[in-house]
Amino acid sequence: MEFLQPSDWQDALAAKAAFPDAVPVRGGTDVMVEMNFDRGRPAALLDLSHVKELGEWGRDDTDDTCVRIGAGVTYTRVLRELGTTVPGLAQAARTVGSPQIRNRGTIGGNLGAASPAGDCHPVLLAADAVYEVESAARGVRRIGADEFYLGPKRNSLDADELIRAIVVRATDTGQQFAKIGTRNAMVIAACSFAVAINREVRSVRTGIGSAGPTPLRAPEAETYLTDMMTQGELWEGGRLPDADVLKRFGDLVAGAARPIDDVRATAAYRRHSLRVMARRTATWALRQSC
């Protein structure tokens, strides 16, 4: 097995171009499990630990209402440093694994693994995030979260590309994430849900996790709540939508899911819990930004 250890981003891109089969590794919390159990012995490992750029975050150069967060930023750092910048992502980070897993697991690793149960995805879909990927040959490409997920554990990265960063609007309000599992810690979601309500541009966006082959949105639910907010003149704040509006929003989210029965939950339970999580998180997000 080749072990490639680039010292910066340009080296990393060159290595990935030279060895398209190399498996990138940063935190290792997905890759090492596979290796320990001999499920995958890659031809080459591309260790991104020393690529400093991946651990940085700051205002986005092209749009200063957004932050650009390096793919190698860990959950522990998201929690400590980004709680009032991308609150939904910080909430999701807080539910990942355990302190040890959060200390090493990264956003980029979650996107790379593209598990339908990954906790970053619903939040990033809801927050309308854009993923910045790059290759030595073709340079930077920005992919909307909507276009990124192709199937279970499949994303739209090309073989010579690496994930550089995520770009997302900075806000301290209107985002909520909820997750269902058997325990409070160390749990892969039975299902999860995120909502982002942006009163400035009057939008509602959603993300569903672990209830379909990929993370999903619930477009009908989004349109419905947006229309109800407009009709009820609720965007300016002060009042919440009626309880049956929020309930209907939950029903529409449950309807958008494409769950299956598996070891973690039945499809019916997934739909039920989505209905409840959607209603609650929307209520929290609206109340908080009221």
Ligand X SMILES: Cc1cc2nc3c(=O)[nH]c(=O)nc-3n(C[C@H](O)[C@H](O)[C@H](O)COP(=O)(O)OP(=O)(O)OC[C@H]3O[C@@H](n4cnc5c(N)ncnc54)[C@H](O)[C@@H]3O)c2cc1C
Cβ contacts of 142 within 8 Å, gap of 6 or more: 130, 131, 132, 133, 167
- Given the complex with ligand X, which of 110 and 283 has the nearer CB atom? 110
Contact partner, 260, from other proteins, ligand X, none, Cβ < 5-8 Å per class: none
Instruction: Scan residues 144-163 and list those touching ligand X (CB under 6 A).
Output: 162-163
Cross-strand bridge partners of residue 118 = none
Contact partner, 67, from other proteins, ligand X, none, Cβ < 5-8 Å per class: none
Q: Does 28 bind ligand X (CB under 6 A)?
A: yes
Site string for ligand X, 214-253 (x = CB under 6 A): ----------------------------------------
CA proximity to 285, closest of 195, 225, 208: 195
What is the spatial distance between Cα 263 and Cα 275, in angstroms, rounded to a whole number? 20
Q: Does 132 bind ligand X (CB under 6 A)?
A: no
Q: Is 210 left (phi over 0), alpha (psi -120 to 50) or beta?
A: left
- Given the complex with other proteins, which of 33 and 243 has the nearer CB atom? 33
Instruction: Scan residues 186-215 and list those touching ligand X (CB under 6 A).
Output: 186-188
DSSP 216: B
Q: Does 98 bind other proteins (CB under 8 A)?
A: yes
Phi, psi values for residue 226, rounded to 5°:
-60, -50
Contact pick of 29, 155, 175, 214 for other proteins (by CB under 8 A): 29
